[in-house]
Every structure is written in structure tokens, then in C-alpha cells.
Chain A
Amino acid sequence: MRRTALKLTMALMALMATLALFATACSSSDSSMTIAVPADQPTIQKAVDAAKPGALILISPGVYNEDVDVSTDNITLRGLDRNKVILDGQFKLENGVRILEANGVVVENMTARNFTSNGFYWSGVKGYRGSYLTAYRNGDYGIYAFDAVNGQIDNSYGSGSPDAGIYIGECYPCNALVDHVTSEFNGLGYSGTNSGGDLFIVNSIFRNNRAGVVPNSGSYELCYPERDTTVVGNLVYENNSVVAPAIEVALLAQGNGILLPGGVRNLVQRNQVFNHDRTGIGLVPYPEEDASDLAPDAAEWDTPCSKTHDVKVPPIAAADCKAVDGLLKGCVVFWNPYENRIVDNTISGSGVADLAVGTVDLLGLGVTTDLLRNCFSGNTFTTSAPNDLQALAPCDAAGNGGSWDSGALDLLGLLGSPAPAPPKDTYQTTPEPAKQPNMPNAATAPVTPAPTGPPKVDIEAIALPARPPETTIPPAGT
């Protein structure tokens, strides 16, 4: 009997202890984990500072003249109305929401405008999500993820930035998904330097930018080259704006739909691309003067970014430092586009060519266009440079042995006459965007954590988007 009683007592004690622990756990995951702004905390920053991991910050409609810094893991910032919860930098503050080495932070259903740098910015994080975000009139990027992995940017909108509306850079593998975004009236619709690896840009619209989708390579940042980005099922059209704000690389890329300057091993499939002054889909070199490093060999393309962070980069050896006559100082590195697969796209209405690939061997290294191993199959198009590109370089089949010189891309002509640069503050007067759709049930929807690994995307299930019946771009006014 006594032993039974003892057992029972012990069992009860254990149960009570467990219950007590449960109670503690529960209380920290219910209402105390939701912080209302301004009801509970007067500013978004104060709410963030008070938040513990797991917290949901619910923000009521209002214009908030704040730049919010987040350094707490796993919190969610959510606006109750995407078009009425507005972070406004008044062209004085730098970033709308800046997440620095805080993992798993979710920002959703709000607007950031008039910041001198970025609307929404993640740097050095594992796990991030931006959903139902609107970013416009920001001085660098709209929605910007740098050195960040395991991410998602969806149902979001970027306009009026001189660099890219949406940007994911310096990650490999990025494990990131850009899905159902619209990016217009920027220098670049999408860009990402030295990013890729399970990086998907899908189901999105890039229109009326200076240039549409422009990931690129360069040794001015770590983790080169740009590689293994998948661009599928997007509408890319009329990226010819001469009045959108622009940094210089956007002027260089002007009038191209999908441009891969120095991009490697990317897949561009089933995109609807039309009406560009220059190329619909163009594979071109990115010439970098006074480069910090040479372009790595193919054997190094699989090196994860994490392995490059602490590697000291020695100066380029004198023997490898090639200067180009008339192009002056330093080592010039040509980041060439290699092994890209361009398949099943529909491209039309391009001023120079619907499909184009070209390089120029200014350094005398013997790297010519036919040696870059890019391939083209199943595309619907009219013009290409070189001529008959799909017969010349089909995917998974031998080429017809035709001439790469016939109708070759005039790269110097293509790049040699960029549009004039707009004034630096052009971004401050870009058009007010249309009202954007809200996330469903913002007030009551439970917290959905940020991704923790590579996105699961069935690219075979993504169809070629139909050409919109009305392709007239809204007038670009001020």
C-alpha cells in the first residue's frame, strides 16, 4: 500500500510539474505574445524591443515615421491593413524595417515608402519572409535580402527604386522563393548579385522598369558568381522606361527583359517576354574593371557562400591581371554567362533580338560565344543573335554546326549607348502605386513561421502565363 501511495504521489507530482510547465508554455504563446501598436506600445520600435521570440506585433492603420531595427529572432510584424499601415521615412530615414542577424523574422501586410535606402531589408539571417508588402519611392531597393538564406518574398510589390524593386544577393544556396510579386518603375525589376542555389523567381510580373530581371556576377561583393537561379512563369514586358529612377547598372541594362550579365547555370523557362527595346532574353558578360578577384572556374561554382566569408582574397596576380587597351587601370575581369538553359519561353517584339547571347574577347583569353555552353530549346520567338540560335545551341542535343558569327550580337553597340542618367532624387517623385490586395484575415490569422530550408517548388506545374489583354503601361508621371 505504502509503495503504491508513494508511486501515486510521485506520479501526481510529475503530472503537476508537467502541467505547471505546460501552463507556463501556454501563457507565453497566447495573448501575451501579441503586442498591439499603438494600443500596447506607442511605436513599432518599442513593440519590437518588447517582443520575445514567437511574438506577433499587430499594427493598426496609421503613418509611422519610424525606421525599425529588429535583432530578435522569430518575431512577426503584421499590419492590419496593407495600404493603411505605412512606414514613411520622409526621405530622411534610411530603412523601413531593417532585420540584422535575427533569424526567422516575418514582415507582412504593410507599406514602406520614402526611405533613403530600403523599404524592407534582411541582412545576415537564416529564415525570413516578406508577404503582402508594398515598397515604393525608396532610394536603393524596395525589398532587399542580403547574405540571407531560407527566405520567401511573396504577394509583394516594389516600385520607384533606382536599383531593384526586389533583390536577393550574396547567398548560395539561397533557398529562397520569390512568388507572385509585381515590380515596376524601378531601375531593375529584380536583381541579385552573386546569389542562387534553390532560388526561384516565379509567377511574377516585371514591367515598365528600366530592365526587367537582371541577376549578375561581380567580385565587388562576396560569393561570386551568380548561379543556379530559376526564373519560371513570369510576365516580363515593356521594361524600357526612360523616366524611372536608375543607378548606372540599370542604365546599362536598359531595354532588356531578362538579362543575365555573367550569370551561370540559370534556368529561364516558360516566361512570357515582350516589347523590349533591346533583347527579350539576353546572355551577356559583366565587365568588371579593377576587379578584386578573377572569375572562379566551373569547379568552384558549387562552393557555398558560407565557405567564402572568411577566406582572404589575395590581390590578382600580376600575370593574371589583364588591362584592356584604352580601358586603363587595374585588372579587368569578364564575367561571362555560362551554361544557362533558356527553354519554352515566348518572346516577341524585341528591338535587337528576342533571344541573344554574346561575349567579346577583349582580353584575348580565347573565350568566345560558342564556348559558353548556353542552350536554347522550345522557345517561341522571331529574332535571335546569333541567327538561328535554337538550331545552333539546342539543349540536350548537338548543334547544327552553323556560324556563330552570322548575326552575332553587337555587344559594344548594345552596351555603348546607355540612356542619360536621371537626377539622383528621381525616386522621390515616382508615381503613387495602385492599392494592393490585403493578406487574408490579418487580424486573426495565426503566425506562419518563416521558411527553414529550401522552398518546395514544382516548376513543371507552372504554366506559361498568358499575355495580358491590355499591355498599356500606366503613364509614368510624377
Chain B
Amino acid sequence: MRRQILLSRIWVVAAAGILSSAALLLGACSTSSAASEETNRENSQVSPLSPARHLGPQGQVGQFVTDCGYSHSAPDDPIVFPGKPGMSHVHDFFGNRSTNADSTTVSLLKAATTCQKQRDTAAYWAPQLRDHGQAVVPVKSVAYYRAAPGVNPKDVVPFPEGLHIIAGDMTATEPLSADLAGWACGVSSSHDAAPPQCPVSAPLRAVMTFPDCWDGVNADSKNHKSHMVNSSAGLCPRTHPVHVPQLTFAVAYPISGTGHDLTLSSGSTYGIHADFINSWDQAGLANEIKLCLNRDVVCGLSSNRDEDPLFGPK
């Protein structure tokens, strides 16, 4: 051990000179790579409407996962109808327990959470699912935080405090890209535009992926969308240069088998969407991003281990 320490110290001294000349070289390199990135950005000024999603089993890229219980339902939407209780279609709320039409980042930061990670006091919501017209009480939500495909994980910074984001299109009456917002069975990354029939061992989930490039200035925008766009081939456009986590939000429902007639409080199941206000404990969020995303570590998984078994009572 001591010998190793010695050697490494000698190496450090010797290497210092080499490193400083290497730094000069690197400096030159980084300039040129920045230039090529610029070009790429200009080439990809139109950001794709649908996000690039991670497919296949989890564990190939760094992520952290936050499981949040169902909190409450209300006809409120603090992003689209702030200060106007009752104006919205009914939403199911997850995470922050206090979310309502009057919520502000400040009020949310003071409230409790349903999340397993207690530092996740963010507000997540989605329209209420109905089966034959009856409200379906969700089991829980699962939020995956990752660098979007192709994004250098070291470039990802935390969502700014109070950031508002919407995923999906509540007005959709025709199938959208299931990459944007869709339906799946259990943790499968295969998504459909309409709810599939799911087995008991992998019941129905709605899955929405939020855009991951931020304009760096605005926590919200008039249409609640234009301050955020999707990255393309790992790059954010110059208009939205800040890489934030790609948040994929899933709502798990106790729905499997046949005989369902599913609609959303907002209308067609094609219109599944989700909303997010970043009211995380900001230091807690920054810590997870530093430890898990920037270092590309799989800090947690969501699995079907806790779903009903295949041969369980029907």
C-alpha cells in the first residue's frame, strides 16, 4: 500500500508538467468541439415533438427513481388555471400533498409529500382515469430522472426551482406518438397510444416524458410549453441550451384484464398528459443529479417484483 502511495505521489509530480501541456492541448480541442457543437445545434434548430426515450430493461444508463403515492384528486390545475379552483378537469395529484389551484412554489416547498424520497416535494399530476365512468384510484406514480438518450450525463443540471412543465397534449383526440405520452403494462418500455390489455403481473401504467432542454430563463411560458423543448441526438438547441433531466412520469393503475371502458377526465385516453412543478428540496434534487445522473450511476429501479403474480387470485 505504502509503495503504491509513494509511486502515485512521484507520478503526480512528474505528471503535473505533462498535464499542464495537455491542458493547453485540451483547451484547443474543446474550442473546436464547441464549434462543431454549434454547427450541430444550428442544424437541429427544430426540436422533435416527441422525446427520444430510453428503451429496453432499466439499468443501462444512470437514473434515479422516485415512487410517490396517490395524494388526492381535484378539478384544479395550478399551471393552466392558477388561482381558479374548480376550473380544470379533475386531476390526480402525486408527491406534494398540498397541490391545488392556489399552489405556488413557496407554498409547495412548505408541504409534505407522498414520495418515498422525502426530499421530493415536487408536484406531479395527471388527468383522472375513469373505467365505465367511475374514477379509478391510482396505485402510485413512478418518476424516472435520466439524461435523455445521447446527452452527456455530465451536462445535466437540476431543474430550476419553480420550473413548470407539461408533457403530452390534453386536447389530443387522435393517437400521438407513444414516446411522448402513452400507455404500457408494468415497467415495460413498449408503449401504445391507447391503453392495452395488461396482465395482472404487469398492470396498466400511463407514461409521459417531459422535454429536457430549458431556455435557461423562464420558469414558465404563456402556453406553458415554449420555454422547454426536447433534445435531439443528445443536443439542446441554442434557444434552449440548458440540459435538465429527462423526466419520465408513470401513473400505475389497478387495471388489468378485459372488460374495461377507459376514458380520462380530459376526454379521450389519447389525451393523456402530465404536469410538473419543481418544488423539490433543491439541495436534495441537486444531490441526486450529482451522484446518479452526472456520474451515470443506476441509483434505483422500478420493477414488477411488487406486482400481482401471474397465477394469483383473479
Contact = CB atoms under 8 A, between A and B. Distances in A.
Interface stretch (A178-186, A285-293, A377-385): A285-293
B311 A415 contact: yes
Interface stretch (B5-13, B22-30, B41-49, B163-171): B5-13
A29 B2 CA distance: 9
Interface stretch (A36-44, A226-234, A248-256): A248-256
Interface in A67-101: 69, 71, 92-94, 98, 100-101
Interface string A281-311: 0000001111011000000000000000110
B309 A290 contact: no
B6 A289 contact: no
A290 B311 contact: no
Interface string B152-174: 00000000000000000000000
Nearest to A247: B306
A101 to B, nearest CB: 5
Interface stretch (A20-28, A126-134, A340-348, A363-371): A20-28
A71 B6 contact: no
A328 B297 contact: no
Contacts of A252: 309, 311-312
A315 B190 contact: yes
Interface string B299-314: 1110111111111110
B298 A146 contact: yes
Nearest to A146: B298
B60 A222 contact: yes
Contact of B199 (A123, A251, A309, A328): A328
Nearest to A224: B57
Contacts of B6: 21-22, 25
A329 B183 CA distance: 13
6 closest A-B pairs (Cβ-Cβ)?
A313-B56, A252-B309, A415-B311, A289-B199, A247-B306, A222-B59
B309 A69 contact: no
Nearest to A223: B59
B185 A330 contact: yes
Nearest to A164: B305
20 contacts: A21-B9, A25-B5, A54-B1, A93-B118, A94-B116, A98-B299, A100-B291, A101-B295, A123-B299, A139-B116, A162-B306, A193-B305, A248-B309, A249-B306, A288-B304, A292-B189, A293-B57, A315-B190, A329-B199, A418-B309
Nearest to B120: A94
| Majority SS at the chain A contact face | loop
Given A220-B304, A252-B311, 8 more contacts: A94-B117, A116-B118, A248-B308, A248-B312, A289-B202, A328-B199, A329-B185, A330-B188
B311 A412 contact: yes
Given A28-B5, A117-B300, A248 B306 contact: yes
B197 interface: yes
| Majority SS at the chain B contact face | loop
Interface residues of A, number: 57
Contacts of B117: 94, 116
Contacts of A309: 59-60
A417 interface: yes
A162 B190 CA distance: 28
Given A71-B291, A248-B306, A312-B55, A221 B301 contact: yes
B9 A170 contact: no
Given A163-B305, A220-B57, A290-B188, A327 B310 contact: yes
A416 interface: yes
A108 interface: no
Nearest to B140: A424
B216 interface: no
Contacts of A94: 116-118
A354 interface: no
Contacts of B268: none
B309 A116 contact: no
Interface in B181-211: 185-190, 196-199, 201-202
B292 interface: yes
B88 interface: no
B187 A220 contact: yes
A117 B56 contact: no
B58 interface: yes
A289 B298 contact: no
B33 interface: no
Nearest to A449: B1
Contacts of A25: 2, 5-6, 9
A309 to B, nearest CB: 6
Nearest to A314: B56
B196 A329 contact: yes
Most central of B5, B59, B295 by chain A CB within 10 Å:
B59
Contacts of A66: none
A313 B57 contact: yes
A94 B118 CA distance: 8
A310 B301 contact: no
Most central of B1, B56, B307 by chain A CB within 10 Å:
B56
B257 interface: yes
A93 B287 CA distance: 14
Contacts of A219: 57
A327 B202 CA distance: 11
Nearest to A219: B57
A328 B6 CA distance: 64
Contacts of A116: 116-118
A457 B309 CA distance: 36
Nearest to B303: A220
Contacts of B257: 328
Interface string A161-192: 01100000010000000000000000000000
Most central of A21, A94, A312 by chain B CB within 10 Å:
A94
Nearest to A417: B313
B9 A290 contact: no
Contacts of B118: 92-94, 116
